[in-house]
Amino acid sequence: MYQNPEIQIKDSASQPRPAQELLEEFKTREHPPRGEFLAFEGVGDKDVYNITAPFTMGGRTYIAGRVEPRHAEGDSEVQFFEEKGGVWVTAPGTPVFRLQDPFVTKVGGELAFGGVETFPHPDTRYSGGIGYRTVFYRGETLQSLRLFARGPDLMKDIRLIQLRNSEIAVFTRPQGPWVADAERGKIGFTKLPSLGALDAEQISNAKIIEGQFLNHEWGGANELHLLDENTIGVLGHIAYIDDANKKHYYAMAFTFDPDTGTPSPLRIIASRGNFPEGPAKLSPELDDVIFPGGIIRNRNDHSATLYAGVSDAQAGRITIPDPFKVPNLKL
């Protein structure tokens, strides 16, 4: 087993703060222009949401998105889309995966792609009879993607990125009473020597980053950016359920030193209120939900374009201050 004895995960520089408090701080601090919804074709009357940011393979630019009927959740696919005339259309000749919530990253000359796989689960106390796990594919083209790893059962939001020394940084999201100190969902971290070392055991052995979430709230990593030799930018989400059983999901960001295990404080960077009104998969339960999929950093003006799923029914984008390079604000 690959060991990282030099990594001692440190608590966040501050104590966990409620999501509502972080939201009020965000509303006072930033006033981004209203986001927009993306249009999709080629999926019939199904919704496309929980998208990735655009990425390039073989000289062509794609978005991966979760495709699903409005009133069903078990019938999910991940498809790839290309933009034509302002509309994202199904990319011909690309594979379709029976997954949810896709993510992508480049490792060497390959694309590492993944999503959430569902399956029947016998323990209805914690999963409602539906199990899930994160699965990982790799390949030099979309057509050559092949399965190479699975995460632990009942764990979503596992993300990875290649460091400059070729090691792989892995962020995890243990949750539930079967994982000590995980509560409703916290972020864990580990490093691996290569992509081939990724497996459920290594993911399970990641150390939790304490000091980020209150026990009745939760969060996870959605996309990673290598900022410099010692800093990873983490795009993620923070969430909670209120007394009326309504879910609240917000896009957040922090930075992380993979050598010292030191995180910066969390900051909310976008909310459902930053997008136009629109439908929700379930209303009012999912009215206040955005699920960030990725950002494109616009280095010329310190802005970024955030791509996100909105209320589990649509996909949108919004221009925000670059969360990893904000003037006069130390992350």
Which residues make beta-bridge pairs with 61?
56
Amino acid letter for position 187: I
Residue 135 lies in a domain: yes
Residue 10 lies in a domain: no
Amino acid letter for position 113: F
Prediction pTM value: 0.93
Concatenated DSSP letters of 182-196: TTT---EEEEESSGG
User: 293-329: buried (b, 16+ CB within 10 Å) or exposed (e) per residue?
Assistant: bbbebeeeeebbbbbbbbbbbbbbbbbbbbbbebeee
Token digits for 116?
Answer: 């959430």
| Paired sense of beta strands 60-68 and 55-57, if any | antiparallel
Residue 75 lies in a domain: yes
Residue 327 lies in a domain: no
How many structural domains comprise the chain? 1
pLDDT tens for each residue of 19-48: 999 999 999 998 889 999 999 999 999 999
Residue 227 lies in a domain: yes
Give the domain range for residue 216: 19-320
Residue 35 lies in a domain: yes
Residue 96 lies in a domain: yes
- How far apart CA 282 and CA 200 sit, in angstroms, is 32
Residue 87 lies in a domain: yes
| Paired sense of beta strands 314-321 and 36-37, if any | antiparallel
- How far apart CA 164 and CA 229 sit, in angstroms, is 7
Instruction: Please give the pLDDT value at position 2.
Output: 40
pLDDT tens for each residue of 3-23: 444 556 655 556 899 999 999
3-state SS, residue 130:
strand
Q: What is the CATH number of the domain that holds 176?
A: 2.115.10.20
pLDDT tens for each residue of 297-321: 998 888 999 999 999 999 999 999 9
